Structure 1
């Protein structure tokens, strides 16, 4: 067997194959690409033991899922960025990821470009992940205020760019983990056509 070519057993050292021929070994833990001449069991094992000894007892499935987990985490971060900038659900698929692909293709390498293609960016996925993140934020806030006996809720009506009335609910409480007063948006909902002009209402 030629050690310069990828062998499935290399996954136990945290290395996966790429599309080059012969493919350089890519460490899924630190994302470092070694030289093609390093495609030998002893050299890969040395990198693994020297840099990632804490993972020596992990099964092969742990390393196989690593690239997928990184792609998933990246996808959520891109969705979060789009949501914070009030971009449409299609922005990640039509602009962000294509832009990243162009950048990696022009400035980096084929390996980085192929890794970028693993990011799921369909508008339905973006919509679902935004909802998942919003639900998670509410759950975190709910969990945090359980440690504080007092909190304040403010209900405020605003008008969106589309001239539709929206109801915002803000909450203020003492964040135990941060050790300070925390202000959060607890929720936002579009009001019916018969607008309710609450303006501002604080509940203590």
Structure 2
């Protein structure tokens, strides 16, 4: 395979097992960067993570480092509850076990009716993208879309009232991690046993 040298990293330059180099893949770095970069998560924030696959699970570590007080993992797969909680989520919502409530209703309930300070959509579901916007704190929150959609005809039907109050939505490919300036930081983090032991053991 031929790649541009700007996108190649010599793992033997870093002091950790080469198998752990998988954290440089799209999934981990996207979730990490979505929370870490651009000042999205601040001390005391509540972060709602829609989808707890490899991208969504990677949000907890930087969110904790940045001082988030509550990290809400959201998924329809109950088996992901324990994994999400072990990696730093403080709460977990099973989106298929809510009865007549919507996911955004439940997030609002867990935040005392205020909404989340930062919503990160990592499932690729258009329905959950809309729910992420609805659960955002009015006038402040940013909703970050990491998933590209699951089906070709996926559409967003947004709650415009949130944007009238000043909320934002942004896309996030590869976590917006810059290869030369940001990736060395992620690599240095990966050298810390506490960091990678959480993900591999």
Q: Shorter-chain TM-score category?
A: under 0.3
What is the TM-score normalised by the length of structure 2? 0.21
Q: Which is richer in helix?
A: 1
Greater C-alpha radius of gyration: 1
TM-score where L is the length of structure 1: 0.21
Larger strand fraction of residues: 1
